[in-house]
Structure 1
Amino acid sequence: MALAMIYGATGYTGSLASERAKVAGVDIILAGRQSTKLEALAANLQLPWRAFGLDDPLTIQTSLRDVSVVLNCAGPFADTAMPLAEACIEKGIHYLDVSAELSTYLAIEELDQKAVSAHVTLLPGSGGIVAMLGCLASKAAARIDDSVSIDIAVHVSGTLSNGSVASANSAVIVDCMRLSEGRLVKQDADETMSFDFGDGRGPTSCLPVTLPDLFTIWKTTGVANIRTYVNVSGDSFLAGEKDSGALGPPEEERERNPYHAAVIVHGSKGEEVHGELHTINGYTFTALASIEAVRLVLAGKVLPGLQTPATAFGADFVDRIDHTHVRLTRVANEPCVGNA
């Protein structure tokens, strides 16, 4: 029977994904570095577990025995993505993760040809903002024959997990970046842009930020000019309640803080398509989307080499996630076919 491994299962996102996999009936084994935490989680979920570090390639490969798919939830991904992805290629195992670190996508891209030769899928960003924005951008760009640029923003609500903060700190890029003619170039960090997220707030000022979507949306759509933005509300960079010891926001907080995204796609003849995405909290979305990606890969929905959720499963992948809706319109308010 095909078996998936969740590495980093005891972290905040990893535990949410593990719980979702259990509910969805996906056969998984929990994994990570700390045996004590793994044993406790495994006992709670009644699942098998396996403890190993990522310092020795042979140890990793041995620990991946009997596994068909690895979902890496262990950040910072600058430390974990490459050792696991390389071991997966060596063993013919498909690699997925939930990274939001641009540097790891650029590093994994270097493994693309090896993965193609090994018939292995490399799917970083299988859940979370990368899946949200990639599918939204792909749907919008498909409405224009010759898309030349994409501006896209995400509204992040609620607190971030400790792991997200650690990953963000480890992946700090000094310069704010945008994609220009397929090249990463500097962008003025003070050059804000207004987006209407369709959440009742009207045009909302967003800050430019360097997201992995600069790379993944280009790979998905072929559009070589991309700018990424963020708008935050609440104590987005405080993990959990102060002094609570929580790894991340509790369920009731996630339920109060849905995410939204907005995109503007420009065509060569001056056309514009605007899009909105409305969904559940980003952490809940990540657990649902990443396990859905695992399920599809286990079922044989695979393409070799480096993929994005939209290239692997189509732009409608986002529609598989509960309470997620996309709406597309033209600037002239002529409706486009979308997922209202």
Structure 2
Amino acid sequence: MKWMIYGATGYTGELIVHQAKRLGYRPILAGRNKQKIETLATHMEMPWRAFNLESVDTIASQLEDVDLVIHCAGPFEETAEPMLHACLKAKTHYLDITGEISVFELAHSLRKEADDAGIIICPGVGFDVIPTDCVAARLNAQMPNATHLALGFDSSSRMSRGTALTSIRRLHKGGAVRENGEIKNVPLAYKTRRINFGDGEKMAMTIPWGDVATAYYSTGIENVEVYVPASPKLITRMKRMNWIRWAFAFKALRARLEKKVAQGPAGPDVKERERAYTWVWGEARNAAGDVITIRQKVLNGYTLTSRGAIELAVYIMRNKLSPGFYTPSRLYGAKLIDRFLVD
């Protein structure tokens, strides 16, 4: 089968390209910048194409002979919709590495169209949301009557430039949780609690992580929250920011922050990725008040993304699967996390 990595010259896209190369694959490398794509493809000895995402018809014409695309070009809230519709038109399987709730919801809304087109749509085939999604699925299997699900992760790794920019773009929206089956916009640092993610108990706060969308589709559990460690000082700062976060809806203010982020490194280097593993945590609770917990130690998020995206792409191409919308754990099974565990 012929497949493509779009956004191949971005920080995470290039990690995925190198993982494909290590495993002996030669996907088509694609992106918006012809010079960058050609340079990378020449170095990696892979075929390439350059096209933008402004027209669904243009994208679809580039995907007519492509069986599957891993979409890596953010911001996904702008790029996912045209790529998704182009994949539906070209009958090309769609994977992406998004962590944006709105994109997961969009992908889920197109589940019937995916079924009709005979393709698989599976967003979030990276750190967000593979490990937390698999933990959610295992908790659900152990407690089928769970009514509440809390997930989280603890990592010392720095954000990539793209992840930081995404966080800035949605800052004005605040946080998000799922309550009674519905996604609810809430203040920043909406809830706080002490959690042992795996490396000792720490103060933590809720964040609008992708599992707020996907964990419901993987488990059917109607109440979902996602936590990360946060110092009391940071929690206080985030709570105060709720009074002014509306201002970040203005492009001029966001542009100042985005410019500062753009001046920094693209993401953690090799040595940092090798030593900065991640603890993933999950807790399920039922109406009787019973609680079960899972903790798993996994690879650095960016390393996990590079491996997870290729793992699921190859899995789709090697197996005859029913079309439609999937989360990673529903596509591959909760055992997928076992591929990325750290001793």
TM (normalized to structure 2)? 0.87
Task: Give me the whole-angstrom Cα distance separating, in 2, the residues matched to 1:10 and 1:119.
Answer: 29
Whether 1:271 aligns to 2:290 is yes
Checking the alignment, whether the CA contact within 8 Å between 1:92 and 1:119 is kept in structure 2 is: yes
Structure-2 change in CA distance of 1:23 and 1:232 (3 Å): farther
Give the letter for the 1:113 counterpart. K
Within a 5 Å distance, the mapping from 1:166-181 to structure 2 comes to 166-172=165-171, 174-181=173-180
Task: Give me the whole-angstrom Cα distance separating, in 1, the residues matched to 2:58 and 2:143.
Answer: 49
Q: CA offset at residue 107 of structure 1?
A: 1.8
Task: Give me the whole-angstrom Cα distance separating, in 2, the residues matched to 1:148 and 1:243.
Answer: 41
Checking the alignment, whether the CA contact within 8 Å between 2:205 and 2:230 is kept in structure 1 is: no
Task: Give me the whole-angstrom Cα distance separating, in 2, the residues matched to 1:303 and 1:163.
Answer: 32
Within a 5 Å distance, the mapping from 1:38-57 to structure 2 comes to 38-57=37-56
Corresponding residue for residue 223 of structure 1? 221
Q: CA offset at residue 203 of structure 1?
A: 1.3
CA deviation vs aligned residue, 1:102-134 (integer Å, no higher than 9, x gap): 111112222111111111111000111211100
Task: Give me the whole-angstrom Cα distance separating, in 2, the residues matched to 1:245 and 1:155.
Answer: 23
Give the letter for the 1:221 counterpart. T
- What fraction of aligned residue pairs are identical, expressed as a percent? 33
Task: Give me the whole-angstrom Cα distance separating, in 1, the residues matched to 2:289 and 2:262.
Answer: 52
Task: Give me the whole-angstrom Cα distance separating, in 2, the residues matched to 1:28 and 1:245.
Answer: 30
Structure-2 change in CA distance of 1:153 and 1:177 (3 Å): same
The secondary structure found in structure 1 opposite 2:13 is helix
Q: CA offset at residue 169 of structure 1?
A: 2.2
Task: Give me the whole-angstrom Cα distance separating, in 2, the residues matched to 1:35 and 1:176.
Answer: 37
Q: CA offset at residue 187 of structure 1?
A: 4.1
Corresponding residue for residue 183 of structure 1? 182
CA deviation vs aligned residue, 1:47-103 (integer Å, no higher than 9, x gap): 111000011222111111321100001111011111111111111110000001111
Checking the alignment, whether the CA contact within 8 Å between 1:195 and 1:206 is kept in structure 2 is: yes
Higher helix share: 2
Task: Give me the whole-angstrom Cα distance separating, in 2, the residues matched to 1:259 and 1:19.
Answer: 22
Q: CA offset at residue 146 of structure 1?
A: 0.8
Within a 5 Å distance, the mapping from 1:9-20 to structure 2 comes to 9-20=8-19
RMSD, matched Cα: 2.1
Corresponding residue for residue 92 of structure 2? 93
Which of 328, 334, 337 matches 1:309? 328
Checking the alignment, whether the CA contact within 8 Å between 1:157 and 1:232 is kept in structure 2 is: no
Structure-2 change in CA distance of 1:100 and 1:243 (3 Å): closer
Give the letter for the 2:24 counterpart. G
Q: CA offset at residue 168 of structure 1?
A: 2.2
Q: CA offset at residue 291 of structure 1?
A: 0.6
Corresponding residue for residue 138 of structure 1? 137
Structure-2 change in CA distance of 1:243 and 1:33 (3 Å): closer
Give the letter for the 1:115 counterpart. A
Task: Give me the whole-angstrom Cα distance separating, in 2, the residues matched to 1:171 and 1:304.
Answer: 31
Structure-2 change in CA distance of 1:155 and 1:303 (3 Å): farther
Checking the alignment, whether the CA contact within 8 Å between 2:80 and 2:103 is kept in structure 1 is: yes
Task: Give me the whole-angstrom Cα distance separating, in 1, the residues matched to 2:320 and 2:220.
Answer: 22
Task: Give me the whole-angstrom Cα distance separating, in 2, the residues matched to 1:19 and 1:186.
Answer: 38
Whether 1:300 aligns to 2:319 is yes
Corresponding residue for residue 72 of structure 1? 71
Task: Give me the whole-angstrom Cα distance separating, in 1, the residues matched to 2:274 and 2:286.
Answer: 37
Corresponding residue for residue 158 of structure 2? 159
Q: Which residues of structure 2 form unaligned runs of 5+?
A: 232-256
Give the letter for the 1:258 counterpart. Y
Corresponding residue for residue 197 of structure 2? 197
The secondary structure found in structure 2 opposite 1:195 is strand
TM (normalized to structure 1)? 0.88
Within a 5 Å distance, the mapping from 1:199-214 to structure 2 comes to 199=199, 202-214=200-212
Checking the alignment, whether the CA contact within 8 Å between 1:173 and 1:210 is kept in structure 2 is: no
